[in-house]
Amino acid sequence: MVVTVKNPGKWIFLAGIGPESEGAGKILFPGDFYRQCKYAYYRIQKLLGMHGATLKNVVFVTTYMMDIRHIAASGKCRSEEFGECRTAARSVGWRQRVRMA
């Protein structure tokens, strides 16, 4: 989902961007978190571009993952995609969070 808010300034909010194929919604690269992450960032960059923005404009990223053990792959993926333009980020392990509730 993408929501754009204008005046004053311009804010773009993205949510629910994951490894689902465009159109069919099929989960791509099952069992390969790193490739899923790379695909999600591909989709994010595409959506940002449609609204006149790039990853350089991103202020904050929250990454939800089913297994927090993927945190190293998530960090590697994010670092590769953002390069020199770092942004604030947090990671949430969903399965672990549900068990705590």
Quick: pLDDT tens for 9-52. 889 999 999 999 988 889 999 999 999 999 999 999 999 999 99
Pair of tokens at residue 48: 């940002």
Return d(Cα 35, Cα 41) in angstroms, integer: 10
Return d(Cα 6, Cα 39) in angstroms, integer: 28
Residue 79 has pLDDT above 70, yes or no: yes
Is there a contact between 3 and 21 (Cβ–Cβ < 8 Å)? no
Residue 98 has pLDDT above 60, yes or no: no
What is this structure's pTM?
0.85
Question: Which domains are delineated in the chain?
Answer: 2-100 (3.30.1330.40)
Helix axes 33-50, 71-82, angle to 10 degrees: 40
